[in-house]
Amino acid sequence: MDKLHEIKSLELYWLGQMGLMIKTGNKTIVIDYFATPMDSRQTPVPIPAEELKGVDIFIGTHDHLDHIDHEAWKIWAKVNPDARFIFPRKHRTAVLADGVKPEYAIGIDDDEVCQIGDIKIHAIAAAHEILDRDPETREYSCLQYVIEVNGFRIHHAGDTVRYEGMLLRLRHFGKIDVQLLPINGRDAKRLSNDTIGNMTYQEAADLAGECDTELVIPGHWDMFADNSADPEDFADYVNIKYKGKVQCLIPKVMQKIELRKNED
């Protein structure tokens, strides 16, 4: 096939909450996969931690159980001995305690880039209700990522609200093919129970629209009954306000989402 008209492809699998698996060629990336069974879960574990093998890169956005699942990372460090683990640098001590090899534990911070082979992972600070930055090290506790792989750009927002300058930083990357955005929102009741929040479904929809995203997927709505939102509200808002501009998909767990594009 003429390289000028090569067709690029990518497979995505939503793993519940903010979990995402990316497959392209012989590479597999897993982000924010919450794999520990708990009675409070509404979404069962789709792949038991010990059965998740052949992963090249594990990524965590912040040190909460449903994003960096330390019990699962302990298992993955053993069953995926050559995998790289990428996470906010502030949490390096906790990740090393999981048994991840120091040379494979890659802590990064805001505005840094990690490149593994032809995969680029760009870090952007995330504001999990607030922009939490260590006053001494100046490192952020929460990150979001733009992943460039096989000609695609995927924005995984982790847990965040919108903050001044965030949209401009995302627009810097140009066309974003896919965004996974939290939609569960925030309120006083949850904050009083130490449950810090994220974008509302309207804020997330507007972010996708203003980024001119090709496909947006809602996350962080299915796992816990007391920290949820209705993804149909999100989809309706996207489909009405950004009709013909942004495609919205409410995924099923482990549903294959295949992306294809011509590389001119």
Q: Where residue 264 falls among pLDDT bands split at 50, 70, 90?
A: low
The answer to whether residue 28 sits within a structural domain is yes
Residue 217 to residues 101, 154, 221, 233: CA-CA distances in angstroms? 33, 11, 11, 13
Which pLDDT band holds residue 110 (cuts at 50, 70, 90)? very high
Q: Is residue 68 part of a domain?
A: yes
In a domain, 112, yes or no: yes
Confidence of residue 65 (pLDDT cuts 50, 70, 90): very high
Residues in a beta bridge with 250: none
Domain count of the fold of the chain: 1
**pLDDT, mean over the chain:** 95
The predicted structure's pLDDT at residue 188: 87
> The pTM is what?
0.95
What value does the mean pLDDT take over residues 184-211?
A: 92
Q: Please check whether residue 1 lies inside any domain of the structure.
A: no
Would you say residue 3 lies in a domain?
no
pLDDT at 83: 98
pLDDT class of 1 with cuts at 50, 70, 90:
very low
What is the strand order of the sheet 256-263 is part of?
A: 105-108, 84-88, 57-59, 27-31, 20-24, 6-14, 256-263
Residue 2 lies in a domain: no
Structural domain of 230: 8-263
Query: What CATH number did the domain enclosing 122 receive?
Result: 3.60.15.10
Long-range CB contacts (< 8 A, 24+ apart) of 167-171? Answer: 167/207, 167/210, 167/211, 169/124, 170/124, 170/146, 170/207, 170/211, 171/210, 171/211
209 found inside a domain: yes
Comparing 189 with 199, the larger pLDDT belongs to 199
Q: Mean per-residue pLDDT for 172-178? A: 96
